[in-house]
Amino acid sequence: MSAPRHLVSIDDLSLAEIQGLFRHAQAFAQDLRGWSHQCPGLISASLFYEPSTRTRLSFESAMLRLGGGVLSAAEMSSSSASKGESLADTVRVVGSSYADVIILRHSSEGAARLAAQYAPVPVINAGDGSHEHPTQTLCDLYTLWLECGKLEGLDIVLSGDLRYSRTIHSFVFALARFGANIVCVPHPGFEMPEYVVTRLRDEFGVEPVRADVSRLGDLASASDAVYLTPQKPHQLSLFTGEAGVRPELLKVDALYVTRPQTERYSKEEMARTGFVHLDKQRLAADPLRNAVVMHPLPRRDEISGDIDQDPRSVYFKQAGRGVPMRMAILAFLLGRIDMGTASAPADVRSHAVTVGSNPCPNPTCISRTEMRHVLPRYRLASRLPVRASCGYCDAAIAAPLVGCSTTLHFHEADSSLVRRIRPDHLVFFESAAQAQALGFRPAGQATELV
């Protein structure tokens, strides 16, 4: 029996597969009641450790419309988890005979990746902390594809809380893969996380450029806007400007607004005010005249009800399209639809941390919140200097010193000798004292590494 196919990150799908899902979703949407023959006898389990309305109900509706059944555990905090059962044990039990696919929402970043290591059935990430939300991204991309007719080269403005919005993080990676241009207009203090910007730079060659978004008026008056594009400078369609001058925003294809993710805020962050508010006056800004307005919902005060009837506002359509999109996702992962010859991109390998303490700096990473069945892991992005990230939540690992677990020698992270250490033998240290306490010693220039 082959290993199950999971959807933990938007990267788990190739571009061809994403476009194939769009076509199947479009077919399902033609008659939502006409597909009950797709998954008869199959069961999905909704394991939600955080509250949800649209995501949980749309997945359950999708499974029922495909002819399957659903098990819903919408309050996992009052289930066996309250008795101390680990996430790993939960998904092993649920995936053994209870269900054929698991839809997981969890408060810890990297939880879905951990679940996929243990579940014998497909795991779908329905949101893990402030990390990723790939199925919402697919719904967002599907909406853009329907409204704009394409994804390549679109000019997208992201507004609001870009730091804690997991929908944004998955979204920007997908937009970059499709060659879209992104303008970040964050609420001050809630800029894009550094690990997101670093990955855009490493994988797509995106270099952030400060931008002039004054044409958006009050909508961006307090924001330090940043422009991200995977395209070459001479191909830019979004901005004009002379060298050395901040490029000026001229047009927008879509404005994506996010709510403040207050459930993840510190006391200091809760005290910040003046969050973005989009109303008729702000939507009248010249660059937005043809822009569709999107929002993952739920909304608070960031979008005024007076633009709900504006033909550019598509956020309720966006939510409704979650059902056919998730029908396509379920049918695909359960092997009920054929994607042709498309195949997923190769997985980026991670390695277990076998020596020393957990190097992940993120206190809400699953490698820190789950006390059992979790061995910290890391992914290597660069060898010179060493740049690594947590294998679960992608947080950057800050380690000025790097050791070899076989020779027990350590080096400066930018030493050329580090290149000779096998990726799975790397050990990360914050200081020489930490390294020496674990039995490592400084390496000589002639040290032989393996």
For the chain, what are the domain ranges? 10-129+322-333, 135-310, 351-442
Per-residue pLDDT at 232: 52
The pLDDT value recorded for residue 239 is 46
Which pLDDT belongs to residue 301? Answer: 84
Q: Is 3.20.20.70 the CATH number for 135-310? A: no
- Which candidate, 366, 367, 363, 364, places its Cα nearest to that of 376? 367
Is the domain spanning 351-442 CATH 2.30.30.20? The answer is yes
Q: Active site includes 407?
A: no
**How does residue 237 score in pLDDT terms, banded at 50, 70 and 90?**
very low
Per-residue model confidence (pLDDT) at position 235 = 41
Mean pLDDT, range 11-40, rounded to an integer: 95
List, in order, residues 6 or more apart from 392 with CB less than 8 Å away. 109, 110, 111, 113, 114, 360, 365, 366, 367, 376, 377
Comparing 114-128, 186-200, 228-242, which segment has the lowest mean pLDDT? 228-242
Give the CA angle between residues 253, 258, 261 to the nearest 5°: 165
Residues of the chain with pLDDT > 70, as a percent, come to 90
The pLDDT of residue 20 is: 95
More reliable by pLDDT, 236 or 331: 331
How confident is the prediction for the chain on average, in pLDDT?
87
Residue 234 has pLDDT above 70, yes or no: no
Q: Decide if pLDDT at 259 tops 70.
A: yes
Catalytic residue status for 55: yes
With beta carbons less than 8 A apart as the criterion, state whether 275 and 301 touch: yes
To the query of whether residue 54 is one of the catalytic residues in this protein, the response is: yes
Which one of the listed residues 5, 54, 351, 383 is annotated catalytic?
54
The model's pLDDT over 310-332, given as tens digits with 9 standing for 90+, comes to 999 999 999 999 999 999 999 99
Mean pLDDT along residues 105-134: 95
CATH number of the 10-129+322-333 domain: 3.40.50.1370
pLDDT surpasses 90 at 202 = no
- Of the residues 37, 83, 232, 234, which is catalytic? 83
Mean local confidence (pLDDT), 359-368: 95
pLDDT band at residue 270, thresholds of 50, 70 and 90? confident
| Annotation says 83 is catalytic | yes
Of 81 and 398, which is predicted with more confidence? Answer: 398
Give the span between the Cα atoms of 343 and 218, in whole angstroms.
45
Instruction: Output the CA–CA distances (angstroms, integers) from residue 100 to 39, 45, 90, 96, in the order listed.
Output: 10, 8, 14, 8
Of 56, 133, 336, 368, the active-site residue reads: 133
Question: Strand 351-352 and strand 377-383: pairing?
Answer: antiparallel
- Residue among 183, 192, 252 at smallest CA distance from 212: 183
Best-predicted range by mean pLDDT among 98-102, 285-289, 385-389, 394-398? Answer: 98-102
Q: Is the pLDDT of residue 439 over 80?
A: yes
Strand 409-412, strand 441-442: pairing: parallel
Catalytic residue among 6, 24, 55, 199: 55
Position with higher pLDDT, 237 vs 352: 352
Q: Look at residue 271 in the predicted model and tell me its pLDDT.
A: 75
Find, among 125, 113, 157, 347, the residue nearest to 257 by Cα.
157
What is the reported pLDDT for 233?
A: 46
pTM, two decimal places = 0.88
List the single range of 47-61, 216-230, 269-283 with lowest mean pLDDT.
216-230
Q: At what angle are helices 322-333 and 15-30 packed, to 10 degrees?
A: 120
10-129+322-333 and 135-310, same CATH topology: yes
Q: What pLDDT score was predicted for residue 44?
A: 98
pLDDT score of 238 more than 70: no
Q: How far apart are CA 144 and CA 83, in angstroms?
A: 43
Cβ count near 49 (within 10 Å): 22
Mean pLDDT of 365-391: 90
Instruction: Write the pLDDT tens digit of every residue in 160-176.
Output: 888 888 889 889 999 99
The active-site residue out of 6, 24, 56, 105 is 105
Query: Is the model's pLDDT at 236 over the cut of 80?
Result: no
